[in-house]
């Protein structure tokens, strides 16, 4: 468990180029998913499932809302120091 | 004949012999037990049952139908994998407790009557608490006691319900119960507590993170899933379960986002996943029940896999908080890959196991035109990917690198994780075998273009939200803190209750003590002594007067007698004589 030193071998994501490549692949996948939405047949039970990019928008908005609510509403209400119950 | 053994018996009885084995033989023995028990199970014909008479009741120890068999198979599988994972832990108590725990879960799902079901249900609690206590920390000991207290309360609630139900219906059979009277309500709540329903849930997030490393793997598999089985058996189609389940899927993900202890994050996501099952049982259609139990099957595997991988990290680094971890993909690459398989499975990525079961529950909700429920489940699906799918692997294996350089997990842990991960991928890619085991015939195709595309979009854009929030610094940084949950009410409430009781009895004691010691007793004392002395004087003075004692001598005798009686310094013979006289009087009076 020693601190990394200069001599230590380099791992996969120590190289910024690899990180950059990963992000490129990731963003390409996102773009591909957005484009595919217009070309594939959609079998839907609810009408809104046919709206363009419904799942993509919902996933993004839901998660942003989740994190903001957890950070700015829930955490201030429930956060206590670690030994709260020990006293 | 081996096939005559009840399904949990081999594990429970086998646990007693664990301390007799050493070294390799112990490993062999531990792995052979679930294998033997599984063989015992497959020797049974479906539809067969084993019953015994006990105190005039007809106890059914083995009722085998499609529902109980599915749980029986997965419980055997996870017992084997959990024990394989735990082989390098040298603690007989932990191994034995795990075996009894698994055996009790099997006993409960195969019990055909409420009495034997209740006995196994309670054994679940008693055996599992040792998996928490074995950790040996002060926190785990206290947490274990809280776990025990909560489950004892739930068990009593269940018992009261069973007694009322059996008295009313005259039957101890465990089949469809339905929510219709006080007895069934108490049974319902008893099941609900083990199922970690909202407000009844804090025992889970309190105790599982305090358990031992393999202990958490076992705990995540049995208690809640036995409760899911019990609900599926006794209360399918009870509409309140739809809402309970939907709330269960949503509220824990908010906590999971701000939680620092990664095993506690997993505990919250466990509640979230059980929510899908409870919701499916509440919907109650064939598709929904199939979805609920197949999701229980899959959840046992991928949740165990996640607990195993985080447990392996804990085993190697001694740390479990997101604030202390990171960069472990460098030294624990296989564990990292297995964790990501678990994460993809719980998030229901196409080709991973969650995808083929969770969607059945959602489709059942959509078929029933439950719009709000469907949206809640969709929100929870996005949320679970966010906290379990990305947060767990990201903070443990990537994120900032605090410089931890350790070894890969031990071979047995890797093998257990590898097999579990393989099963998650297999079930996700080829769902047919799992579907063939479900209670109802399956007429459902998970892999349609629109479903695959919709789910992939949902997950990728959830991850985009995570990525952008992390990059912009808005994502809540992990903080060393605890987050109050509903257990605040239990813990502070019970402390308040104890204080109130102490105050009440203290006050009562002080008041009654005051009345007795300063009020009644001195008066009684005075009356008793002084009255006695005066009575004696009355008697003796008459006697002395008659015998001619007068004047100063009489006064002296009176004073001496009075003082003797008041101080209790009469000759012993006199006291004894008076006592004998008193008893004689009593004797003659009561004849």
**Per-residue confidence band for A8, with pLDDT thresholds at 50, 70 and 90:** low
Percent of chain B scoring above 70 in pLDDT: 99
pLDDT at B111 over 70: yes
Q: How far is residue A56's CA from residue A37's CA, in Å, rounded to a whole number?
A: 9
pLDDT at B134 over 60: yes
B51: three-class secondary structure by DSSP: strand
If you average pLDDT over every residue of chain B, what do you get?
Answer: 90
**Residues of chain A positioned with their CB less than 8 A from the CB of B476:** 67, 70-71, 75
**Residues of chain B positioned with their CB less than 8 A from the CB of A82:** 480-482
Question: Out of B317, B404, B461, whose CB is closest to A60?
Answer: B461
Beta-bridge partners for B482: A80
pLDDT at B79 over 90: yes
The tokens for B244 are: 């309970």
**Residues of chain B positioned with their CB less than 8 A from the CB of A57:** 461
**Per-residue confidence band for B343, with pLDDT thresholds at 50, 70 and 90:** very high
Question: Out of A37, A43, A63, whose CB is closest to B466?
Answer: A63
What is the rounded average pLDDT of the residues B35-56? 80
Question: Out of B401, B404, B458, whose CB is closest to A1?
Answer: B404
The tokens for B126 are: 């008693």
The reported pLDDT for the residue numbered A1 is 43
For every residue of B81-116, DSSP letters joined together read HHHHHHTT---HHHHHHHHHHHHHHHHHHH--BHHH
In this predicted model, what pLDDT tens digit does every residue of B155-171 receive, in sequence order? 999 999 999 999 999 88
pLDDT at A3 over 50: no
pLDDT at B571 over 80: no
Neighbours of B213 (CB within 10 A): 24
User: Which whole-number Å values give the CA distances from B333 to B88, B339, B408, in the listed order?
Assistant: 20, 10, 7
Q: How far is residue B379's CA from residue A62's CA, in Å, rounded to a whole number?
A: 6
Interface contact flag, A67 B257, Cβ < 8 Å: yes
User: Which whole-number Å values give the CA distances from B394 to A17, B205, B343, in the listed order?
Assistant: 19, 21, 10
**Residues of chain B positioned with their CB less than 8 A from the CB of A26:** 467
CA atoms within 13 A on the CB side of B25: 6
Q: Please give the ipTM for the structure prediction.
A: 0.87
Interface contact flag, A70 B254, Cβ < 8 Å: yes
pLDDT at B3 over 60: no
Query: B206: which residues sit within 8 A by CB, 6+ positions away?
Result: B143, B146, B147, B487
**Per-residue confidence band for B48, with pLDDT thresholds at 50, 70 and 90:** low
Beta-bridge partners for B261: B321
In this predicted model, what pLDDT tens digit does every residue of B352-379 receive, in sequence order? 999 999 999 999 999 888 899 999 999 9
What is the rounded average pLDDT of the residues A16-25? 88
Interface contact flag, B257 A71, Cβ < 8 Å: yes
Interhelix angle B551-567/B521-546, nearest 10 degrees? 150
Neighbours of B332 (CB within 10 A): 25
Q: How far is residue B405's CA from residue B346's CA, in Å, rounded to a whole number?
A: 28
Interface contact flag, B382 A66, Cβ < 8 Å: yes
**Residues of chain A positioned with their CB less than 8 A from the CB of B481:** 79-82
**Per-residue confidence band for B254, with pLDDT thresholds at 50, 70 and 90:** very high
The reported pLDDT for the residue numbered A41 is 74
Q: What angle do CA A22, A23, A29 make, to 5 degrees?
A: 95
Q: Burial, B590: exposed, middle or buried (Cβ in 10 Å; 0-12, 13-18, 19+)?
A: exposed
Nearest CA in chain A to B491: A85
Q: Domain locations in chain A? A: 14-78
Neighbours of A8 (CB within 10 A): 13
Interface contact flag, A62 B329, Cβ < 8 Å: no
For every residue of B528-552, DSSP letters joined together read HHHHHHHHHHHHHHHHHHHTT--HH
User: Which whole-number Å values give the CA distances from B36 to A71, B60, B79, B220, in the listed order?
Assistant: 50, 22, 12, 23
The reported pLDDT for the residue numbered B53 is 79
Interface contact flag, B374 A11, Cβ < 8 Å: no
Question: Out of A11, A44, A63, whose CB is closest to B450?
Answer: A44
The tokens for A19 are: 């990180």
B570-578: long-range contacts (C-beta < 8 A, 24 or more apart)? none
């Amino acid at each position: 468990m020693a601190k990394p030193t200069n001599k230590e071998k380099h791992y996969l994501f120590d190289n910024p180029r690899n990180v950059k490549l990963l992000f490129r692949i990731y963003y390409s996948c996102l773009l591909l998913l957005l484009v595919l939405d217009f070309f594939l047949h959609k079998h839907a039970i609810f009408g809104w499932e046919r709206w363009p990019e419904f799942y993509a928008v919902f996933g993004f908005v839901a998660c942003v809302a989740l994190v903001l609510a957890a950070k700015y509403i829930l955490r201030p209400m429930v956060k206590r120091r670690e030994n709260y119950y020990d006293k | 004949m081996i096939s005559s053994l009840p399904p949990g018996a081999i594990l429970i009885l086998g646990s007693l012999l664990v301390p007799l084995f050493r070294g390799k033989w112990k490993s062999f023995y531990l792995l052979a037990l679930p294998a033997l028990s599984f063989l015992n199970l497959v020797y049974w014909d479906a539809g067969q049952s084993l019953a015994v008479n006990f105190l005039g009741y007809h106890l059914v120890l083995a009722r085998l139908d499609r529902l109980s068999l599915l749980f029986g198979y997965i419980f055997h599988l996870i017992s084997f994998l959990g024990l394989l994972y735990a082989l390098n832990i040298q603690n007989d108590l932990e191994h034995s407790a795990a075996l009894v725990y698994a055996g009790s879960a099997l006993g409960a799902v195969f019990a055909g009557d409420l009495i034997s079901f209740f006995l196994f249900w309670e054994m679940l609690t008693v055996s599992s608490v040792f998996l928490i206590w074995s950790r040996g920390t002060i926190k785990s000991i206290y947490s274990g006691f809280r776990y025990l207290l909560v489950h004892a309360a739930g068990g009593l609630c269940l018992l009261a319900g069973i007694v009322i139900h059996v008295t009313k219906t005259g039957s101890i059979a465990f089949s469809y119960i339905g929510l219709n009277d006080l007895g069934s309500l108490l049974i319902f709540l008893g099941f609900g507590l083990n199922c970690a329903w909202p407000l009844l849930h804090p025992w889970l997030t309190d105790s599982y993170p305090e358990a031992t490393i393999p202990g958490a793997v076992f705990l995540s598999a049995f208690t809640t899933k036995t409760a899911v089985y019990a609900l599926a058996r006794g209360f399918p189609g009870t509409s309140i379960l739809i809402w309970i389940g939907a709330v269960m899927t949503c509220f824990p993900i908010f906590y999971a986002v701000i939680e620092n202890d990664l095993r506690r994050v997993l505990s919250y996501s466990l509640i979230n996943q059980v929510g899908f099952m409870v919701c499916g049982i509440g919907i109650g259609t064939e598709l929904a029940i199939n979805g609920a139990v197949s999701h229980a099957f899959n959840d046992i595997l991928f949740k165990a896999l996640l607990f195993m991988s985080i447990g392996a990290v804990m085993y190697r680094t001694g740390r479990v908080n997101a604030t202390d971890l990171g960069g472990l993909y460098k030294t624990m690459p296989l564990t990292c890959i297995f964790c990501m398989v678990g994460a993809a499975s719980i998030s229901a990525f196409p080709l991973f196991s969650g995808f083929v079961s969770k969607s059945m529950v959602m489709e059942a909700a959509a078929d029933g035109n439950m719009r709000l429920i469907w949206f809640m489940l969709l929100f929870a699906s996005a949320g679970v990917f966010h906290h379990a799918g990305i947060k767990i692997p990201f903070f443990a294996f990537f994120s900032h690198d605090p410089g931890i350089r350790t070894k890969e997990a031990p071979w047995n842990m890797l093998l257990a994780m590898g097999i579990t991960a393989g099963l998650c991928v297999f079930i996700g890619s080829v769902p047919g075998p799992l579907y063939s085991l479900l209670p109802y015939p399956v007429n459902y195709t998970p892999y349609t273009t629109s479903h695959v595309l919709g789910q992939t979009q949902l997950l990728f854009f959830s991850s985009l939200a995570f990525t952008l929030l992390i990059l912009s610094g808005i994502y809540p940084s992990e903080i060393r803190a605890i987050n109050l949950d509903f257990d605040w009410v239990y813990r502070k409430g019970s402390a308040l209750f104890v204080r109130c009781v102490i105050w009440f009895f203290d006050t009562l004691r002080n008041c009654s003590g005051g009345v007795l010691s300063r009020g009644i007793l001195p008066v009684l004392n005075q009356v008793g002594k002084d009255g006695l002395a005066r009575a004696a004087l009355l008697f003796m003075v008459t006697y002395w007067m008659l015998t001619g004692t007068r004047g100063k001598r009489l006064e002296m005798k009176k004073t001496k007698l009075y003082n003797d009686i008041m101080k209790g310094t009469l000759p012993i013979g006199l006291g004894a004589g008076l006592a004998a006289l008193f008893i004689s009087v009593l004797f003659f009076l009561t004849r």
